[in-house]
Structure 1
Amino acid sequence: MSTDSRNFAGPAVLSMVWRDALFAHWEMPPERIQETLPEGLSVDTHDGKAYLGVVPFVMDDISPRGVPFGLSFGELNLRTYVRDAEGEPGIYFYNLDADDRLGVHVARGLFQLPYYRADIDVGHDGQAVNFRSRRVGDGEPAAFDATYEPAGARLDAEKGSLPHFLTERYRFYTEGRGQLFYGDIDHPPWPLTEAEVEVRENDLFRVNGFEEPESEPFFYYAPRTDVTAGRIHRV
């Protein structure tokens, strides 16, 4: 496991594999992000800069620990980077769109996460990943359409580097029932490379109340990592 990984406050409850992850990031003024966060969380920055991340990937072989259930679906999220009152770093999700009705229902109830049902199609053309998502059901309509592929050798995401800041996060925070919760995950370090990306459509900033970022985006790709997740806990 990564040297950054943590021991759960209790046993792991899920195991899964995350495949074909794109980490697409744009700079955003820290004060703009701070005004969107719930009480108890502060925006985390790297060299004074805050970031919004769009992350499409496939969640594969999702199973309760020790049960070969094997649920799989595409997921798309908009996220930012935060610290709690104790200074613990993590991720705050604005939305998680997923192509599985049962998974959305369970994640909302079990993890208090802002999941939305979406039709997601993931295809491959050689190393290129074609990822298309369109939200269905509740929530404001939102679409995402992009093609991405690895470009170059594996990165060495050392502690203190920007790739490490953006990807090696082992805690998420979420707000539900008027309370702030956290959950922990664990996985080996992401096997990152730079990525070539064409984004044809992206509604995630708009539906979450953000203006379109003016900064140039930058991209990382990871083919897979094995993940375990613990229960959520009240902060």
Structure 2
Amino acid sequence: MRSLLSMRWDDLCFAHWPVAPGVVEPTLPEGLTVDTRDGDAYLGIVGFRMASIRPRGAPVGLSFPELNLRTYVRADGGTGVYFYNLDADDPLGVAIARGLFKLPYYRAEMSVRDRGMGRIDFRSRRTHRGAPPARFDATYGPTEEPTVVDSDSLEAFLTERYRFYTASEGGRLYRGDIEHDPWKVSAATLDVRENTLFAANGFDRPAGNPIVHYSPGSDVTAGRIRRVDTA
């Protein structure tokens, strides 16, 4: 992969709810099918800090929090992520991401505060004109030392994703690839005070508590998106 952007992702919270595949399948663009584990599809909320986002060779870059709602899919012989939204606290970053990667980025007011003892307060309020309102307010943190997980584990299924898929307004399907070291993850706690991301994307809130993981982060590079042939 020829790198287009480099960045750092820090203090990631992965929160996943198992759902029936039929909940996800009708929401996917043509060319994508839902990826399942033991018969379950997953809706995941992932929040983190993005730091030093810059084009190849640039000395400085952008830094801001991001919050996304996603699911996991299969296409063109591979597996990856399909995003329903990516909210970010930087107007320039949102504009660049929407233009370069055709991803559903939205502007938001966000704050990430380290409370100490590994606990992170994460708040987001969408401000993007014309987009459905969305709020998220939670505290998360690890319960053990993060480690690299087995490649066949559920943890790897939910976190080790190196490709994303997106569709243009005209319905053309694209894929993009990222590279990073395998995540070091641990079980984590998540105290959610407010979460309207499901409703903002047309989903009922999944039943039950989420499966929660934390990662301290990794350096990441991203390449250009490419057209996917769905014929």
Which TM-score band (shorter chain)? Answer: over 0.9
Residue 77 of structure 2: aligned partner: 87
Asked if structure 2 preserves the Cα contact closer than 8 Å seen for 1:155 and 1:194, the reply is no
Q: Distance in 1 between matches of 2:138 and 2:59?
A: 32
Write the letter of the residue equivalent to 1:46: R
Q: Distance in 1 between matches of 2:44 and 2:14?
A: 7
Unaligned runs of 5+ in 1: 1-7
Give 1:216 deviation, angstroms: 2.1
Q: Distance in 1 between matches of 2:27 and 2:162?
A: 21
1:102-141 matched pairs, under 5 angstroms: 102-126=92-116, 127-138=118-129, 139-141=131-133
Residue 176 of structure 2: aligned partner: 183
Q: Distance in 2 between matches of 1:18 and 1:12?
A: 16
Q: Distance in 2 between matches of 1:204 and 1:166?
A: 19
Aligned residues between the structures: 225
Q: TM-score, normalised by structure 1?
A: 0.94
Write the letter of the residue equivalent to 1:97: D
CA deviation vs aligned residue, 1:165-222 (integer Å, no higher than 9, x gap): 0110000000113211100000001110111110111111001000010132110000
Pick one of 187, 198, 208 that aligns with 2:201. Answer: 208
CA deviation vs aligned residue, 1:16-68 (integer Å, no higher than 9, x gap): 00001000000111011001000000000011111000001010011111211
Residue 146 of structure 1: aligned partner: 138
Residue 35 of structure 2: aligned partner: 44
Query: What do you get for the CA RMSD once the two structures are aligned?
Result: 0.9
Asked if structure 1 preserves the Cα contact closer than 8 Å seen for 2:146 and 2:215, the reply is no
Q: Distance in 1 between matches of 2:197 and 2:191?
A: 16
Residue 56 of structure 1: aligned partner: 47
CA deviation vs aligned residue, 1:104-145 (integer Å, no higher than 9, x gap): 001001100000000000101111110000000321111000
Residue 16 of structure 1: aligned partner: 7
Q: TM-score, normalised by structure 2?
A: 0.95
Q: Distance in 2 between matches of 1:105 and 1:230?
A: 17
Residue 28 of structure 1: aligned partner: 19
Unaligned runs of 5+ in 2: none
Residue 5 of structure 1: aligned partner: none
- Call closer, same or farther: CA 1:144–1:18 in 2, change over 3 Å: same
Pick one of 202, 211, 215 that aligns with 1:218. Answer: 211
Give 1:160 deviation, angstroms: 1.7
Write the letter of the residue equivalent to 1:159: S
Q: Distance in 2 between matches of 1:165 and 1:221?
A: 15
Write the letter of the residue equivalent to 2:107: R
1:66 aligns with 2:57: yes
Pick one of 161, 166, 177 that aligns with 1:169. Answer: 161
Write the letter of the residue equivalent to 2:90: D
SS at match of 1:52: strand
